[in-house]
């Protein structure tokens, strides 16, 4: 457009200070509240990490039990919210439904708005628990199957998988390997400092808008293909290579390098990481574990691995420090779990929720809290007058 900005995409703007997440993009380090991502993924479950992000410390045994209990208490949706599902068209993208339902929570549960200092755990568990239920109901509606209600005897991830895959005919038997893998994937998504959607959540919240409204906006930001939407795009790209190029990766690599072609290798590159994304490394290992466990021979995994190998050996990608990011291997794992492609970004949103909430709280309660209001460099016309003969 010819518009010159001081810092396009805020690539060099530090908008705040934060105690939550540390990234070293050169060394490929990611830590939540000081803990390495690999260790958290290995030793904790998703709710522990959600608690850590929001409170700053891992829960003790009794705190863990109380958090889990609150999660159960707040897992149901108001029955009135179910009617909304009947009005969305069958082809509605689940991210649009998720965002609409997230802001709708503020009409059914306005107390969060009027009591902003309500116990943090209630706020957090309400959102975490209900967003999971919304996501599973969205899937059931897409499938035309009866909705499955949350069960208090199941863990957070088991509950989600049961709400997704239980049918009266086939039932659903929790699989510990799949439940563990889901916990790990959600942990990998849980926060990533001032990324696009978190900045949006904070920008909306900075005006004093309520948490549900801020989260709903964050879900919309995450949906974009350059952000969380990339996990859906990765699978669609791999499917195209399989179907249209007979598994040959050359055309895609050539297109990604062609400056006259807007195509990008999806799941590659990152604003901050100039080396292998530490989340991608863990995601790749989880992917192999799940695929081996299920005995699911996915030809897309083979294509992905060949694509990664070719890109990492290619001068174009080397010169620009382009490596696989978190979205490269997560989609193949979600696919093996039976989650449909158009719900991959919903999974990312469920995972990112604790990070959004933690950052929203840090901003709202912090001494740096000011309304987000960047400036611009005006490069339009100088003052002029409407011509006396205009539309005469």
- DSSP assignment string, 226-253: TTTTHHHHHHHHHHHHHHHSTT--HHHH
Candidates 9, 34, 116, 338: give the one binding ligand CMC (CB under 6 A).
Answer: 9
Choose the catalytic residue: 74, 93, 192, 270: 270
Task: Name the residue with tokens 């409204």.
Answer: 213
Per rule CB under 6 A, is residue 195 in the interface with ligand CMC?
yes
Candidates 65, 76, 177, 226: give the one binding ligand CMC (CB under 6 A).
Answer: 226
Candidates 85, 160, 268, 344: give the one binding ligand CMC (CB under 6 A).
Answer: 268
Going by C-alpha positions, the residue among 131, 129, 181 that lies closest to residue 154 is 129
How far apart CA 127 and CA 97 sit, in angstroms, is 15
Q: Is 369 a catalytic residue?
A: no
Other Cβ atoms less than 10 A from the Cβ of 9: the count is 10
Residue 142 token pair = 């897409």
**Residue 381 DSSP SS3:** coil
First to last CA, the chain: 31
Residue 208 token pair = 């004093």
Choose the catalytic residue: 36, 327, 365, 369: 327
Per rule CB under 6 A, is residue 218 in the interface with ligand CMC?
no
Per rule CB under 6 A, is residue 223 in the interface with ligand CMC?
no
- Long-range (24+ apart) CB contacts under 8 A made by 110-113 are 112/210, 112/211, 112/212, 113/210, 113/212
Among the candidate windows 71-79, 85-93, 224-232, 356-364, which touches ligand CMC by CB under 6 A?
224-232
Q: Residue 276 Cβ, how far from ligand CMC at the closest point, in Å?
A: 12
Per rule CB under 6 A, is residue 98 in the interface with ligand CMC?
no
**Number of residues forming the site for ligand CMC (CB under 6 A):** 20
Crossing angle of helices 176-189 and 344-365, in 10° steps, is: 50
Which residue's beta carbon is nearest to the bound ligand CMC?
269
Per rule CB under 6 A, is residue 359 in the interface with ligand CMC?
no
Q: What is the DSSP secondary structure assignment for residue 96, as one 8-state letter? A: H
Q: Residue 199 Cβ, how far from ligand CMC at the closest point, in Å?
A: 11
Residue 324 token pair = 């696989």
Per rule CB under 6 A, is residue 355 in the interface with ligand CMC?
no
Residue 78 token pair = 């108001």
Other Cβ atoms less than 10 A from the Cβ of 237: the count is 23
Q: Is 365 a catalytic residue?
A: no
Please enumerate in sequence order all residues whose Cβ is within 8 A of that of 192, keeping only pairs 6 or more positions apart, or say none: 21, 23, 30, 198, 352, 355
Per rule CB under 6 A, is residue 325 in the interface with ligand CMC?
yes
Candidates 264, 281, 288, 369: give the one binding ligand CMC (CB under 6 A).
Answer: 264
Per rule CB under 6 A, is residue 318 in the interface with ligand CMC?
no
Per rule CB under 6 A, is residue 247 in the interface with ligand CMC?
no
**Pick 143 or 320: Cβ nearer ligand CMC:** 320
Per rule CB under 6 A, is residue 251 in the interface with ligand CMC?
no
Binding site for ligand CMC (CB under 6 A): 9, 195, 226-228, 230, 256, 264-271, 320, 322, 325-327
């Amino acid at each position: 457009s010819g518009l010159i900005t001081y810092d396009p995409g805020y690539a060099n703007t530090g908008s705040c200070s934060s105690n939550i997440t540390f990234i070293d993009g050169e060394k490929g380090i990611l830590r939540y509240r000081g803990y390495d991502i690999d260790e958290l993924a290995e030793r904790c479950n998703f709710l522990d990490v959600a608690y850590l992000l929001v409170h700053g410390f891992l829960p003790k045994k009794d705190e863990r039990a109380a958090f889990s209990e609150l999660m159960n208490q707040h897992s149901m949706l108001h029955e009135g919210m179910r009617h909304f599902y009947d009005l969305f068209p069958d082809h509605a993208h689940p991210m649009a439904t998720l965002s609409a339902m997230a802001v709708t929570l503020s009409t059914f549960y306005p107390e969060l708005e009027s009591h902003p200092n309500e116990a943090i755990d209630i706020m957090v568990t309400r959102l975490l628990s209900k967003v999971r239920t919304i996501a599973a109901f969205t899937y059931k509606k897409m499938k035309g199957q009866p909705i499955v209600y949350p069960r208090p005897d199941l863990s957070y991830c088991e509950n989600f998988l049961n709400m997704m895959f239980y049918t009266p005919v086939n039932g659903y038997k929790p699989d510990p390997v799949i439940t563990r893998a889901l916990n790990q994937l959600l942990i990998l998504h849980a926060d990533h400092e001032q990324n696009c959607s978190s900045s949006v959540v904070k920008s909306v919240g900075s005006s004093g808008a309520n948490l549900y409204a801020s989260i709903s906006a964050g879900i919309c930001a995450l949906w974009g293909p350059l952000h969380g939407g990339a996990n859906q795009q990765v699978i669609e790209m791999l499917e195209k290579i399989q179907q249209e190029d007979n598994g040959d990766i050359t055309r895609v690599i050539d297109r990604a390098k062609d400056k006259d072609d807007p195509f990008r290798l999806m799941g590659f590159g990152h604003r901050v990481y100039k080396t292998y994304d530490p989340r991608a490394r863990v995601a790749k290992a989880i992917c192999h574990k799940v695929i081996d466990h299920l005995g699911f021979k996915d030809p897309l995994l083979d294509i992905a691995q060949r694509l990664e190998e070719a890109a990492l050996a290619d001068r174009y990608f080397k010169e620009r420090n382009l490596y696989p990011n978190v979205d490269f291997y997560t989609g193949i794992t979600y696919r093996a779990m039976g989650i449909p492609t158009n719900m991959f970004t919903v999974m990312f949103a469920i995972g990112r929720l604790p990070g959004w909430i933690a950052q929203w709280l840090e901003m709202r309660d912090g001494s740096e809290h000011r309304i987000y209001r960047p400036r611009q460099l005006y490069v339009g016309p100088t003052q002029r007058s409407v011509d006396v003969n205009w539309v005469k």
